[in-house]
A and B are shown apart, each in its own frame.
Chain A
Amino acid sequence: MRFDKICMIDVSNKSREDFKKGEKMKMRSLVTGLIVIVLSVTLVGKAIAAGSFSTYNMTIPKLGGSNTTSNVTKVSSSDKAVVCSDQIGGGYTLNARIELLNGSVAAGYQSISNDQRREYTLNPSTAGSSYHARIATTIFIPVDVQATGWWSPDNPGSCGF
């Protein structure tokens, strides 16, 4: 009898412990889930607020010719735009500026070369407006030049080089 009683007590204690463990696990996963949700909402929100990079890969005509990247709509209220120049054919130095959709200049020319980050203060800087980057050769470059990189009318963060 005693032995049975002891066994019964043991069994009931064991099930209580299992139940407690289960509850703890549930709580843990709930908290983890909440943290993940909060973090992802924050990060995605931040990313949307800061915009994202748009890549370009284009040929710039020789002797002062220019080409434009695709149009990107500005999402943040920051007045900075960024051009990350990855590779420029022939090691040439090019010029890049930011323009509005109608071609009016939002930030003047800056020289760019390989692996270079360039920031532009926009005027006007309007969230919801579309911008593009114009990249030009100088009058000295007698050959067409290939240029690759990424850019943004917002300031999404590091260029990665």
Chain B
Amino acid sequence: MFREELKRAFINYGFLAAVVIGLLALSQGLSDYLSGPPMTSEYLSKLPLFYNNSYDAFIWSQRGIIGLLGPLLAVLPFSDSYLNDRTSGFLRNILSRSSYKEYLFAKYCSTGLSGGFAIAIPMTIFFLVMNIVFPRGINTNPYELRIISTPEALGPFGYFYQNNPDLYIFLLIGLGCIFGMVYAILGLSLSMFIENRYVVLATPFVLFMITHYLLALFRQPAWSPLSALVPHWLIGITWIHIGISLGGIFLASSMGFFLGSHVKEVRA
């Protein structure tokens, strides 16, 4: 059952669309990084060593539209699948072969994984491409560098940037994966209560945007849900900001999912 659901979660147009949109969104973020003067060999020789590098390029690409589209990418692959299974009558066929609990567990895990990978895969591909395009190294010039490289400016694991930048980038991708899982499960839990698949897909994104805007308006931007996907968008983001944001949504949506599924089971 789980294997079947996992296959359905990863092999579909929604997942493919999420990967393609993710790559395009990361490319948009890179456009500002590339907006400098022509990189002639004479000009490059005047710049500090590793002024342009694969790590900074990836960090810049994360500061683009991908940060805002994250919740949408996470729900695209499989978050509306429970609703589809129910409305299409497919759920009855499945329940004839396995238990409802087994189905729910498989749905919950496969949706979470597909959402996580829908964000992590484009990020990983993009980082690999950056490694081909730009030199791999860290610019140690304290005044002429593309990003603010102090640990507090790069999020809760920012201290890895100077000593092990690859680990830092993989932690960013890992955090993106967890973000995707949480928002995919949020979408799944909403599908327990909402009958329109477009509303299911759009609601996590809309909630994310409203919360982000309101927290900025109330001068508390660090608590924005964005901090969990782009922990370097603001100076001073800590594990507490990320943990509370992701933990709160994860708990609420998991409870919503199991409560909703119980209600649906009783009704059935």
Contacts and interface: CB of A to CB of B under 8 A. Distances in A.
Contacts of B7: none
A87 interface: no
A56 interface: no
Given A90-B219, A92-B221, A113-B153, A106 B63 contact: no
A93 B153 contact: yes
Contacts of B146: 108-111
A160 interface: no
B24 interface: no
B223 interface: no
A53 interface: no
Interface string A108-132: 1111110011111111100000000
B40 A91 contact: no
Contacts of A136: 32
B235 A113 contact: yes
B85 interface: no
Interface in B94-146: 143-146
Interface string A7-51: 000000000000000000000000000000000000000000000
- Interface residues of chain B: helix, strand, loop or mixed (majority): loop
Interface in B18-73: 32-38, 40, 43, 46-47, 63-65, 67-68
A1 interface: no
A107 B46 contact: no
Of A79, A95, A116, A124, chain B has the most CB atoms within 10 Å of the CB of A95
Contacts of A109: 32-33, 35-36, 146
Interface residues of A, number: 33
B143 A119 contact: yes
B67 A93 contact: no
- Interface residues of chain A: helix, strand, loop or mixed (majority): strand
B256 to A, nearest CB: 27
Of B32, B37, B67, chain A has the most CB atoms within 10 Å of the CB of B37
A95 B37 contact: no
A64 B213 CA distance: 14
Contact of A121 (B144, B148, B235): B144
Contacts of A113: 148, 153, 235
Contact of A142 (B37, B143, B216): B216
A6 interface: no
A93 B234 contact: yes
Contacts of A141: 216
A91 B67 contact: no
Interface string B196-227: 00000000000000001100110101000010
Contacts of A121: 43, 46-47, 144
Nearest to A108: B36
Contacts of B144: 110, 118-121
A50 to B, nearest CB: 16
Nearest to B36: A108
A111 B216 contact: no
Nearest to A109: B32
Contacts of A116: 148
Contacts of B63: 138-140
A121 to B, nearest CB: 5
Interface string B225-239: 010001001111000
Contact of A138 (B145, B233, B235): B233
A124 B43 CA distance: 9
9 contacts: A91-B236, A93-B234, A107-B37, A108-B34, A108-B37, A110-B144, A111-B146, A113-B235, A117-B143
Interface of A: 79, 90-93, 95, 97, 104-113, 116-124, 136, 138-143
